[in-house]
């Protein structure tokens, strides 16, 4: 048996797609596309993989009683310092700030939404907060992580004692 034959299974698009659908999101984003051009092309052009990676909206409607799936990249371990915009950014945060960063095209949740609630804490007391609804009308009618970036001040602005979040009128 030719030792190269077993590897040929990874060039059958449908089988490779089913395998990649079981791989973790960060692995697909960071490593999967570096394996070879074929894998990169499949990951970037497969509708199913693009939905799982939050780049393309799911066509499935939310069943009653089910909650939307939040993009797993929105958590303290990955984007916490970036979205929190602490005054001292890590090297990874600086990489994420590139204008062409792919995460900016990712959906906030599946199925997608066109609005988001923002809770502003005035102090350490969680009852001393304001909740506001922000309605954006992006070109494709869904919110993406890049839209959240519009509402977060640059790191230098956080050092000012009277720093405030920008409003929609700042971007009109």
Average pLDDT along the chain: 74
Same domain (yes/no): 1, 44: yes
92 vs 30, which has greater pLDDT? Answer: 30
Question: Could you list the residue range(s) of the whole structural domain that residue 33 is in?
Answer: 1-53
- The count of structural domains within the chain is 2
The per-residue pLDDT for 158 is 42
Sorted by sequence, the CB contacts under 8 Å of residue 158 that are 6+ apart come out as: 85, 86, 87
- pLDDT score recorded for residue 172: 32
Please list the residues that pair with 115 across neighbouring strands. 135
Q: Whole-prediction pTM value?
A: 0.70
The whole-number pLDDT of residue 79 equals: 57
Per-residue pLDDT at 104 exceeds 60 = yes
Q: What is the pLDDT of residues 12-62, one digit of tens each?
A: 999 999 999 999 998 998 899 999 999 999 999 999 999 999 999 998 888
Same domain, 68 and 3: no
Pick from 9, 28, 53: which residue ends a domain?
53
For 159, residues 6+ apart whose C-beta sits below 8 A from its C-beta are: 87
Of 36, 53, 70, which residue sits at a domain end? Answer: 53
Structure tokens at 68: 């939307």
């Amino acid at each position: 048996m030719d030792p190269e034959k077993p590897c040929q299974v990874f060039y059958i698009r449908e089988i490779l797609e089913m395998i990649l659908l079981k791989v973790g999101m960060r692995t697909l984003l960071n490593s999967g596309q570096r394996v070879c051009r074929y894998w990169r092309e499949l990951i970037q052009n497969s509708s199913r993989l693009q939905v799982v990676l939050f780049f393309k909206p799911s066509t499935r409607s939310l069943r009653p009683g089910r909650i939307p799936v939040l993009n797993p990249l929105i958590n303290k371990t990955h984007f916490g310092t970036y979205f929190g915009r602490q005054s001292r950014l890590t090297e990874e945060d600086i990489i994420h700030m590139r204008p062409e960063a792919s995460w900016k095209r990712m959906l906030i949740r599946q199925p997608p939404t066109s609005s988001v609630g923002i809770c502003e804490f005035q102090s350490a007391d969680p009852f001393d907060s304001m909740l506001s609804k922000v309605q954006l009308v992006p070109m494709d009618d869904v919110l993406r992580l890049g839209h959240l970036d519009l509402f977060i001040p640059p790191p230098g602005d956080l050092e000012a004692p009277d720093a405030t979040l920008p409003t929609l009128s700042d971007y009109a």
